[in-house]
Homo-oligomer: A and B are copies of this chain.
Amino acid sequence: MEPELPTIFSAKRTSFVRSSVIREILKLTVENSDLLSFAGGLPNPHLLSKDVLSSVMESVVRENRNIALQYGDSSGYLPLRNQITKGLTDVPWISSDSITITHGSQQGLDILGKMFMDSDTNVLLEDPVYLGALQAFSPYHPQFFTVPMETDGPNLFWLEEILSQNKIHIFYANPSYQNPSTYTWSVEKRKQIASLLDEKEIILIEDEAYRYLDFEGNVYPSVSSFRKRRDLTFVLGSFSKILSPGFRLGWTVVPDVYRSLFTAIKQGNDLNSNQFSQVVVSKLLEVLDWNEHLRSIQIFYSEKKETLVSLLKEYLPEAKFSDPEGGMFLWVEYPKVSPKELMKQCLASGVAMVPGSEFSPANKSSSQFRMNFSFLGKEEMEVGVKRIAKVYRDINT
A362 on the B face (CB < 8 A): no
Known contacts A3-B261, A139-B265, A265-B139: A71-B245 contact under CB 8 Å: yes
Chain B residues whose CB sits within 8 angstroms of the CB of A87 once the complex forms = none
- A42 neighbours in B (Cβ, 8 Å): 70-71
Question: Is residue A283 contacting chain B, with contact meaning CB distance below 8 A?
Answer: no
> Which residues does chain B contribute within 8 Å of A10, judged by CB atoms?
115-116, 258, 261
Q: Given that A264-B18, A268-B135 are contacting pairs, would A116 and B246 also be in contact in the complex, using a CB cutoff of 8 Å?
A: no
- The residue of chain B having its C-beta at the shortest distance from the C-beta of A133 within the complex is B268
Q: Does A336 contact B (CB under 8 A)?
A: no
**Which chain B residues border A50 with CB–CB below 8 Å?**
61-62, 65
Q: Is A151 an interface residue (CB 8 A)?
A: no
Closest B residue to A201 using CB positions:
B9
Are B267 and A20 neighbours in the complex by a CB distance under 8 Å?
Answer: yes
Please give, as numbers and ranges, the residues of chain B lying within 8 Å of A260 by CB-CB distance: 3-6, 19
Identical chains in the assembly: 2
Contact with B along A217-257 (1 / 0, CB 8 A): 00000000000000100000000100011111000000001
Q: Name the distance in Å between A91's Cβ and chain B's nearest Cβ.
A: 19
Q: Does A138 contact B (CB under 8 A)?
A: yes
Indicate whether A61 sits within 8 Å of B71 (C-beta atoms), given known contacts A104-B270, A246-B274, A261-B17: no
Q: Which of B69, B138, B271, B274 contacts A132 (CB 8 A)?
A: B271
A245 adjacent to B275 (CB under 8 Å): yes
Name 14 extra pairs, CB < 8 A, besides A12-B118, A26-B73, A70-B246. A6-B261, A9-B116, A11-B117, A43-B70, A48-B69, A103-B274, A106-B269, A114-B139, A132-B268, A139-B268, A246-B274, A247-B274, A248-B272, A269-B269
**What is A's interface to B at a CB cutoff of 8 Å?**
3-6, 8-14, 17-20, 23, 26-27, 30, 40-43, 45-46, 48, 50, 53-54, 57-58, 61-62, 65-66, 68-74, 78, 103-104, 106-107, 110, 114-118, 121, 132, 135-136, 138-140, 169, 203, 231, 240, 244-248, 257-258, 260-261, 263-265, 267-277
**What are 13 A-B interface contacts by the 8 Å CB criterion?**
A8-B231, A9-B169, A11-B121, A12-B118, A30-B73, A57-B61, A103-B103, A104-B270, A245-B275, A247-B274, A247-B276, A248-B272, A276-B277
